[in-house]
Amino acid sequence: MAVKGPESTSAEHRRAVHLTYVPPPADRTIPSPRSEPTPAHRSAGEKFMLAAERVLGGLAPTLRQALMMSGVAVGGLVIVALTAGIAIAGVVAVVLAGVAYLQR
């Protein structure tokens, strides 16, 4: 069904439309150079606590409990060393280290 009149779509009534592409303006900002943050300087107490956390971190839920457990173990070893001798205390220390290793 051909349409006649002003809305005709035949070739003689079509207009050529020329579109021009205008590229968007370029982003002229230069990214600033990024540098790695310098590590914070730690005090001796912070270094000690960090080392203690790395060594004893798996023994108890908190670092305080882990330090208390290790203090009790060292105190117990001192008592064993004074009463039974250093050799027996060494054996007990090895057993305690083995138990702590197996608990991890």
Is-above-0.85 flag for pTM? no
Quick one: pLDDT at residue 70?
A: 86
Nearest to 97 by CA among 73, 63, 65: 73
Quick one: pLDDT at residue 49?
A: 84
Question: What does the DSSP assignment read for 45-65?
Answer: HHHHHHHHHHHHTTTSSSHHH
What region does 85 belong to: left with phi over 0, alpha with psi -120 to 50, or beta? left
* Mean pLDDT, rounded, of the chain: 81
Q: Which three-class secondary structure state does DSSP give residue 27?
A: coil
Reported as a single tens digit per residue, the pLDDT across 20-30 is 888 887 777 77
